[in-house]
Amino acid sequence: MNKTALITGITGQDGSYLAELLLEKGYMVHGVKRRASSFNTARIDHLYMDQHENHVNFKLHYGDLTDSTNIIRIIQEVQPDEIYNLGAMSHVKVSFDSPEYVANVDGMGTLRILEAVRILGLTEKTRIYQASTSELYGGLEENKNEKGFYDENSPFYPRSPYGVAKIYGFWITKNYREAYNMYACNGILFNHESPRRGETFVTRKITMATAAIALGKQECLYLGNMNALRDWGHAKDYVEAMWRILQQDVAEDYVIATGVTTSVRDFVELSFKEVGLNIRWEGEGVDEVGVLVEVDEDKYKEAVKFNEPSNLSTFQPSNLIGKQLIKVDPAYYRPTEVDLLLGDPTKSKTKLGWKPQYDLAGLVSEMVASDVEIVKKNFNAQWEHIVG
């Protein structure tokens, strides 16, 4: 008999990749999406099936993690074998502007799911995956393990309302596992990206700007802390780990990471090199700028595919040599910065048999190529309406 899964946050990056994975494995997949006045299902439109057809294995439900009765009703109706709680307000910087909302959704929302499963008497049937985050650690040097990484035993010290809300989600999941013998696990996922990443997150902001600048549709990319170091992986790899976590005999918590760290500055360089633009850094702190010093014409033509029939302009990137393409805007600094996040995936590799298939170079290449196509497709549009 095929399993049934319920995914909150199904319209997001992780939710869409997880839905694809579970459908490939023969699951009946239910997703929770918030009601909105405009369509917000672009990442999963290719999965949608007319509900009048036979053998429909993908269904969406209107719901919200702030509404207990709604969550209870959906879980009662679906009777899931597995719940993946991916729904969250996950933008760290924005969480400082909406701390009460992020606490309600990311913290209390987790409790509502756990309580719904308990109240409905599904503790023996339903396994729960809670999406935790590397922001729990706060980047404190003294909290690393002996190898210099953060692992499942490293102390937490969250430094944002998002991290604080998620730490409640982590501990309430662990508490319900121990108090009610529920199969409930935390996946402490370090940063994971893809072409489906939201455009306000720094990696996607960088690759989107790279494409726009390379095609003459944007003049400058503004960023915050260029020194921030992150452990970046591909979301496709990470949703595979989520599924593996719920297939184990014993419920446990796992760190999912690549074990490799890269600065925002280096991510920018990798991104611009994908379109043949070589950057040199000048200045420090808020005065740091990235200046275009060289154009690899062959790489540029290969990246933007000028040889294909298109309505692209005769824009020449060599005209940008000597110009400042990247600048620092202090408005993007967080009130409390997390300078370094680096995960130790030893447990997930040994116990789950999980191993990432993408490296950072492959991730950046895929994201830039996708965003070049998006910019080309919308070339004649008002670009600020697309990225703003």
pLDDT digits (tens, 9 = 90+) for 32-80: 998 877 778 889 989 987 777 778 899 999 999 999 999 999 999 999 9
Rounded distance between C-alpha atoms, residue 180 and residue 126, angstroms? 13
Amino acid making up residue 205: K
What count of Cα atoms within 13 Å lies in the side-chain half-sphere of residue 274?
Answer: 27
Tokens read off for 20:
């694809």
In the residue annotation, 207 being an active-site residue is answered as no
Task: Please report which confidence band the pLDDT of residue 312 belongs to, taking 50, 70 and 90 as the band edges.
Answer: low
337 has a pLDDT exceeding 90: no
3-state secondary structure of 48: coil
Residues present in the chain in total: 388
307 has a pLDDT exceeding 60: no
Tokens read off for 115:
């309580």
State pLDDT tens for residues 281-298.
999 999 999 999 999 999
Rounded distance between C-alpha atoms, residue 154 and residue 18, angstroms? 27
Contacts of 342 (CB under 8 A, 6+ apart): 144, 148, 149, 150, 190, 229, 231, 257, 259, 260, 261
In the residue annotation, 150 being an active-site residue is answered as no
Task: Please report which confidence band the pLDDT of residue 249 belongs to, taking 50, 70 and 90 as the band edges.
Answer: very high
Task: Please report which confidence band the pLDDT of residue 308 belongs to, taking 50, 70 and 90 as the band edges.
Answer: low
* Predicted pLDDT at 53: 77
| Pairing label, strands 277-282, 262-263 | unpaired
Rounded distance between C-alpha atoms, residue 58 and residue 158, angstroms? 36
Task: Please report which confidence band the pLDDT of residue 385 belongs to, taking 50, 70 and 90 as the band edges.
Answer: very low
- Which residue is catalytic, options 4, 11, 123, 133? 133
- Which residue is catalytic, options 11, 84, 123, 135? 135
* Predicted pLDDT at 387: 47
User: What's the mean per-residue pLDDT of the chain?
Assistant: 92
- Which residue is catalytic, options 162, 176, 183, 254? 162
Q: CB of 349 within 8 A of CB of 280?
A: no
Mean pLDDT on 97-109: 96
3-state secondary structure of 208: helix
335 has a pLDDT exceeding 80: yes
Question: Which CATH topology does 4-189 take?
Answer: Rossmann fold (3.40.50)
Mean pLDDT on 323-352: 93
388 has a pLDDT exceeding 60: no
State pLDDT tens for residues 167-195.
999 999 999 999 999 999 999 999 999 99
Q: How is the chain split into domains, by residue range? A: 4-189, 202-228+264-341+360-387
Mean pLDDT on 229-249: 97
Rounded distance between C-alpha atoms, residue 88 and residue 165, angstroms? 10
Q: With respect to CATH, is domain 202-228+264-341+360-387 assigned 3.90.25.10? A: yes
Reference 174, options 182, 162, 166; nearest CA is 182
